[in-house]
Amino acid sequence: MTQKNYRIKNFPISFFAVSMGLTGLVISLQKASVLININKLIIINFLYIDLLIFTILSLIYLNKFVKFKNEVKKEFNNPIKINFFPSFSISLILFSISFLDINLEISKYFWLTGTILHLFFTLSIISAWIQKQTFKIQHMNPSWFIPAVGNILIPIAGIYHFSPEISWFFFSVGLILWLILMVIFFNRIFFHDPLPEKLLPTLFILIAPPAIGFISYYKIVNEINDFAKILYFFALFISILIFFQAKIFKNIKYYLSWWAYSFPIASISIASFIMYQVNKITLYKYLHFFFLLFLIILVLFLSYKTIKQALKRKICVEE
């Protein structure tokens, strides 16, 4: 096997978390540009760079699918890696959100493709959870929330393209799945072995469901009512709780799973922006900029680490 084919064979589906993080940053910058003077052309160019990276990742993984179907099947049968397959469809849905103010027609096509794919992934993954006997409580980790997050995310752009009933359908599916999985996760984390070091960054994913749930619910009902506040403040509490665990993150070595830090931070940043936009309470503006600044530094750091590891050929290797 050539070196090139070896890399393609071991190209992980979790690489699409990079695209999720970058697009989350683009959307956060789009919101921040309402409050501060950010050149919109810079944001658009960054979006196109992000789209190019996503396209390259997609072509590489398609190549893997064509040449190494068994390796793709192994990933899909893995109790942890299976949950990263929706990161591909979520990336498409995020592009549909980022294009809302640029080109509504392009946004619609991204949304349609991403939504159909995400429904397929959701049904396939839940079917695997139901049918397979290989899943154990120790396999449960925050990456299991990814399919739920995608469903909750769909209404943000969907409300602009199709009937609100469709948005309510996906919001309901995602929200109930999140609540069920949250109970299972806390049972696992409280009463069983701690998460392995490689999966510790996925704890940040816990921020995403309530934060995205708040944004999505606001888009559907067009107001911040008591239920919306519950979602936002729980997301804020989880964010504080995760930052409170800082000492467990500082000594772990780099894994591609570190990109799990980025998208959830983007989601709480955008949620804080909406809270400020509606309520005009200065605290929310400061929270928005705090999370945005943290996100920018984080994406720069993650990009540096990923490029550095790739040059050292420590990414896309057999585990």
From first to last of the 319 residues of the chain, give the pLDDT tens digit.
566 666 788 888 888 989 999 999 999 999 999 888 888 889 999 999 999 999 999 999 999 988 888 888 888 888 888 888 999 999 999 999 999 989 999 999 999 999 999 999 999 999 988 887 677 787 788 888 999 999 999 999 999 999 999 999 999 999 999 999 999 998 988 888 888 877 788 888 899 999 999 999 999 999 999 999 999 999 999 999 998 987 877 777 777 777 878 899 999 999 999 999 999 999 999 999 999 999 999 999 889 988 888 777 777 666 6
Residue 316 lies in a domain: no
Between helices 86-98 and 16-32, what is the axis angle to 10°? 20
Residue 141 lies in a domain: yes
Residue 91 lies in a domain: yes
Residue 99 lies in a domain: yes
Q: What is the CATH number of the domain that holds 186?
A: 1.50.10.150
Structural domains of the chain, count = 1
Its domain, for residue 10, covers 3-311
The pTM for the full model equals: 0.92
Residue 318 lies in a domain: no
Residue 88 lies in a domain: yes
Residue 286 lies in a domain: yes
Residue 279 lies in a domain: yes
Task: To the nearest 10°, report the CA torsion of 66, 94, 260, 139.
Answer: -60
